Amino acid sequence: MKLSFYTTFMKSTVIHTGLILCLLFMPAISACCYAQKPFQIDEQRILKNENLDGFITRLQTEHFTFFNTKDKIPTFIKEQLPINDSDLANPDEPFTSSDVVFDATLPFRQLRFGAISNDLVILSYIKGGFASFKVIWLIKYKNNTVEDVWLNHTFCEDVNSIKGILDCLNENYKDKPVTGQMIEH
């Protein structure tokens, strides 16, 4: 009897000690292990194109490394913005391109272009499903933290290069603020 009481007591003590240690160290564990907070996209600032001129200047002057696979999108971008691998196909992969070509197992977006510099990421993709369109993301970052974003949907034909994106921005968005709400990105 004494042995079973002692065994039960020790098991109980170990469990309680473990719980107390977890509670004590949980704040430290969560601080170092969880992803950064999501970046808050300022839709009104984007709709008014308040930050577009700065992005256009940087697109014209910075040196970029190009990529065309979703695994090259920096992890911190995916953690801080609503961009995820599960709903984005690579350029050569199938996706739900329209409401006619619908497959619930396929992503609704397909990457078209990606570029990165020391502090800027450019992404463009096709958003499929009903009334498909293209989306351009311009993302300024510092020390793996998103600092500024401009994004919008477009029907421009060429969003597959910096030149194509610059032409699209200058022709359709520069000095042309939009009123209303942003659509799903």
Q: Are residues 108 and 160 in the same domain?
A: yes
Q: Are residues 112 and 63 in the same domain?
A: yes
65 plus 154 within the same structural domain: yes
What phi and psi values does residue 91 have, to the nearest 5 degrees? -55, -30
Check whether residue 64 and residue 151 sit in a common domain: yes
Q: Strand 109-116 and strand 120-127: pairing? A: antiparallel
Percent of the chain with pLDDT over 70: 75
Please give the single-letter amino acid code of residue 90.
N
Give the pLDDT confidence of 161-184 residue by residue, as tens digits.
Answer: 999 999 999 998 888 766 555 555
Domain limits at 59? 43-172
Residue 182 in any domain: the answer is no
Measure Cα distances from 66 to 84, 105, 142, 143, 162 in Å.
Answer: 19, 28, 19, 20, 10
CA distances to 5, 35, 43, 74, 107 from 81, in Å: 55, 11, 13, 11, 17
Look up residue 82 and give its two tokens: 């609503």
- Does 130 or 15 have the greater pLDDT score? 130
- Answer whether residue 184 is part of any domain: no
pLDDT band per the 50, 70, 90 thresholds, residue 57: very high
pLDDT band at 17 (very low <50, low <70, confident <90, very high): very low
Res 104: pLDDT: 84
Query: CA 180, 131, 177: angle at the middle one, nearest 5?
Result: 25
Lowest mean pLDDT among 24-28, 74-78, 82-86, 177-181: 24-28
**Whole-prediction pTM value?**
0.77
- Residues 117-128 have pLDDT tens digits of 999 999 999 999
Residues 79 and 54 in one domain: yes
Chain segment 140-164, per-residue pLDDT in tens:
999 999 999 999 999 999 999 999 9
Could you tell me if 96 and 157 lie in one domain? yes
Rounded mean pLDDT of 42-49?
A: 86
Whether residue 19 sits in one domain with residue 64:
no
Q: What is the rounded average pLDDT for all residues in the chain?
A: 81
The answer to whether residues 124 and 113 touch, using CB atoms and an 8 Å cutoff, is yes
2 vs 174, which has greater pLDDT?
A: 174
2 has a pLDDT exceeding 80? no
Q: Is 185 contained in some domain?
A: no
Residue 38: predicted pLDDT: 84
7 and 28 share one domain: yes
Read off the amino acid at residue 180. Answer: G
Confidence of residue 52 (pLDDT cuts 50, 70, 90): very high
59 shares its domain with 134: yes
55 plus 18 within the same structural domain: no
Same domain, 92 and 21: no
Q: Based on the fold, state whether residues 23 and 49 are members of the same structural domain.
A: no
